[in-house]
Chains A and B, each alone.
Chain A
Amino acid sequence: MIEVQRVNKSFDEIHVLKDLSARFDSGKMNLIIGQSGSGKTVLMKSIIGLHQADSGKILYDGRNFMQMRFNEIKELRKEVGMLFQGSALFDSLSVLENVMFPLEMFSGMTNREMIARAKFCLIRVNLKEQSFNLSPSEISGGMQKRVAIARAIALNPKYLFCDEPNSGLDPITALVIDKLIQEITAEYNITTIVNTHDMNSVMEVGDHILFIDKGVKAWEGSRNEIFDVSDNDALNEFVFASELFKKVKYALHK
């Protein structure tokens, strides 16, 4: 479980996150949704410390991240996996070596154990043996995402962060990736936080949804409730931006 309490973050003049509080439970898909530029990435990066929040509290199962010393942060990072928007695979390493990388850095396993673990993770995300020795530039975007997931779960993380995991993917692959993250989250009881602006993902996997509008928490709830929020214009604008969801709402209320 991760708790965020009254977090603020500014860059020079721009106040990006404003007094934001939220709670993310384990074993569930916690979605952060909002328009581009609303501060989703900044929130995520503040939680993991790639940005330094200006004030507030960030608690990892009760451990206050903002007061951790350098070494404690380093230890915590070994419990964290992250899936970046552009996959962020290491260009110079093969698919298999990418997944082995965190193991080589921190696991203390033998070479054979590392290879076995990396292969296990790659097979878990449905990649075939023949792609293991290719370099990241030789595989498709969807496969890169899978490799990135495999790398993120290699060290059995307790916390998993995904920044727009299905951006740039076709609808079918996007769904597969969403489902994969959901399965892994439930299987290993991970605290998973996913940034997205894709309403399809919201409807497919959104167990707990946090809607951010211009850096403020504007709504919180589940995907079953999201169609029936009458008093929140920003949310409605976001949810019903696409014609499809307007029609869904219309059909539901007829």
Chain B
Amino acid sequence: MLIFTFLKHVGIYCTLMYRVFSQPDQWRMFFRQLPKEMEKLVVNSLGIVVVISIFIGAIMTIQTKLNTEDPLLPVYATGLVTRDTLLLEFSSTIMCLILAGKVGSNIASEIGTMRITEQIDALEIMGVNSANYLILPKIAAFVLLIPCLVFFSMATGLLGGYFACVFTDILTTHDYMIGIQYLFIPYYIFYSVVKTFFFAFIIASVSSYYGYYAYGGALDVGKASTNAVVNSSVIVLIFNVLITNLMLT
């Protein structure tokens, strides 16, 4: 029974995506929507990304140092661990989970409201492909600009670690700087960015799906939005395991 419901969702999701990825009725309208969505979904998320990354970077440096108080460990260890954790998982996966909450609920509630107030019907009546008009700019904006958020997160996370060294006497900034440059593997950045392309697509499309098929009243839009966040987070986690397996082992 559960598998049946699951397959039904997948089926409807795929038909929706088929409609999303068709030729826009007016490219002009698409290019007018795109910058608006970029601002709403990405630029407005920069704040939260920066704040969270700085604090996590700082905390990670402090925790790593505290939990590895061993004179035999080289001085670069703390910086290196902080850097690799940021590059490999935090700035991609954890960041996307946080964004699933912010961006996912934003997308689902916006599209869901348009559904229950018949704005989507109004588009369809005009002969507009509503799925394409509403959803494609969101997916495109989020997927295209997600690397910026990742880079910001990596940079400010490392900066957070640096601040931890400056404001506490746990570690000297000199040791930290050596650490974050030691054995640097550029491939990790590539790996992170590739992952987030997938995650961004999942978050934007799954949230759009829940919003697009909302039915009922304001309460149902709330439910759609919760479903969007929970389910896109779970799918992101599953894909994280799959992609990590493919790219790192």
Contact = CB atoms under 8 A, between A and B. Distances in A.
Contacts of A219: none
Given A50-B125, A74-B127, A105-B128, A88 B29 contact: no
B127 A88 contact: no
Contacts of A104: 26, 28-29
Contact of A86 (B26, B118, B124): B118
A91 B110 CA distance: 10
A78 B117 contact: no
Contacts, number: 53
Contacts of A81: 125
Contacts of B26: 104-105
B39 interface: no
Interface string B119-143: 1011011111000000000000000
Contacts of A76: 127
Contact of A80 (B114, B119, B125, B128): B125
Contacts of A53: none
A86 B127 contact: no
Given A104-B29, A105-B26, A84 B126 contact: no
B122 A84 contact: yes
B117 A86 contact: yes
Contacts of B28: 104
Nearest to B133: A105
Given A104-B29, A105-B25, A105-B29, A88 B126 contact: no
Contacts of B127: 73-78, 105-106
A78 B121 CA distance: 14
A240 to B, nearest CB: 32
A86 to B, nearest CB: 6
B126 A102 contact: yes
Nearest to A163: B118
A89 B122 CA distance: 8
Interface residues of B, number: 16
Given A104-B28, A104-B29, A88 B121 contact: yes
Contacts of A73: 127
B128 A84 contact: no
A82 interface: yes
Contacts of A74: 127
Contacts of B118: 84-86, 88
Contacts of B29: 104-105
Given A75-B127, A104-B26, A50 B117 contact: no
A105 B28 CA distance: 9
Nearest to A80: B125
Nearest to A85: B118
Contact of B122 (A45, A75, A88): A88
B236 to A, nearest CB: 28
B15 to A, nearest CB: 13
B163 to A, nearest CB: 39
Contacts of B113: 91
Contacts of A48: 125
Interface in B22-37: 25-26, 28-29
A91 B36 CA distance: 14
Interface string A89-114: 11100000000011011100000000
A90 B117 CA distance: 9
Contacts of A77: 124-127
Contacts of A106: 25, 126-127
B23 to A, nearest CB: 12
Interface in A45-74: 45, 48, 50, 73-74
Given A88-B117, A88-B119, A104-B26, A82 B128 contact: no
A213 to B, nearest CB: 25
A73 B124 CA distance: 10
Contacts of A50: 121, 124-125
Nearest to A81: B125
Contacts of B119: 88-91
A165 to B, nearest CB: 13
A176 B43 CA distance: 45
Given A76-B127, A90-B119, 4 more contacts: A50-B125, A73-B127, A74-B127, A77-B127
Q: Which 7 A-B pairs have the closest CB atoms?
A: A77-B127, A88-B118, A88-B122, A84-B118, A82-B125, A74-B127, A102-B126
6 contacts: A77-B127, A80-B125, A82-B125, A86-B117, A102-B126, A106-B25
Interface of A: 45, 48, 50, 73-78, 80-82, 84-86, 88-91, 101-102, 104-106, 161
